[in-house]
Amino acid sequence: MAKILIVKTGGTFAEYAASHGDFENWTATGMGLAPDQWECVNVQAGRTLPAPNGYAGAVITGSHDMVTDRLDWMRDTEAWIRRAVEAGLPMLGICFGHQILATALGGESGFHPNGLEMGVVDIAVTEAGREDVLLGPLAPSFKGNMAHSQTVLRLPENATLLATGSHEPHQSYRVGKHVWGVQFHPEFNADVIRLYRRDQRDKAIAEGRNPEALRIEAADTPKSATLLKRFAAYCLTR
């Protein structure tokens, strides 16, 4: 059976990853995959991505890097994304992955004009999203975990908007039949959000800002987490 490829574009804080696993582990666990059903390529570390044919699907992870950094590995990943789309590979981009997918396919990503969004937010499924194989079961609305300062500013021309929110207008989109981007983190749980909340509080203190102004809710979001298993099922049974 063909495996699902996890394209690692970054990782969480090293100390936390050492005891709790990293983005690729959380994603594979969320998809319900056995160890022999997935493999990971760390493109941030300079690893070369394999040819997209031969895989059942691919997930592009989040990252602490910014799409606007335009590093060499990002350009190489964008070129691979375009080849993967041409090859018909199902793909799911999460947060940074959502943004680099959009950039690779003709959209635009950059800093959100209204700044950081973090914690649990309400996400609304669009009319088109209600018919989507991944987003449809989440309709009409669901809660998702967020941790981002960049966003998809402009969707690719042929993208379909699937979900939106009060802060983030492009919570999810689909390009073609089975290339999805989600700005929210279906692989995050409450503990992960608490970790990022602590990081933001530390940064606020270091910058002389009031950390109490950071009202960041942390909670599990089990409804949004189901999206990962649906993506895996779609890839492995189509």
Catalytic residues: 95, 185, 187
CA distance 138 to 143: 9
Token look-up 């209600």 returns: 130
Secondary structure (DSSP) of 192-231: HHHHHHHHHHHHHHHTT--GGG--------HHHHHHHHHH
- 195 close to 186: Cβ distance less than 8 angstroms: no
Give the long-range contacts of residues 44-50, CB within 8 A, separation 24 or more. 44/8, 44/9, 44/10, 44/11, 44/73, 45/8, 46/73, 48/76, 49/5, 49/7, 49/76, 49/77, 49/80, 50/5
Characterize the bridge pairing of strands 150-154 and 159-164: unpaired
Q: Closest Cα partner for 72 from 46, 51, 39?
A: 46
Phi, psi of 144 (to 5 degrees): -135, 155
* 233: DSSP letter: H
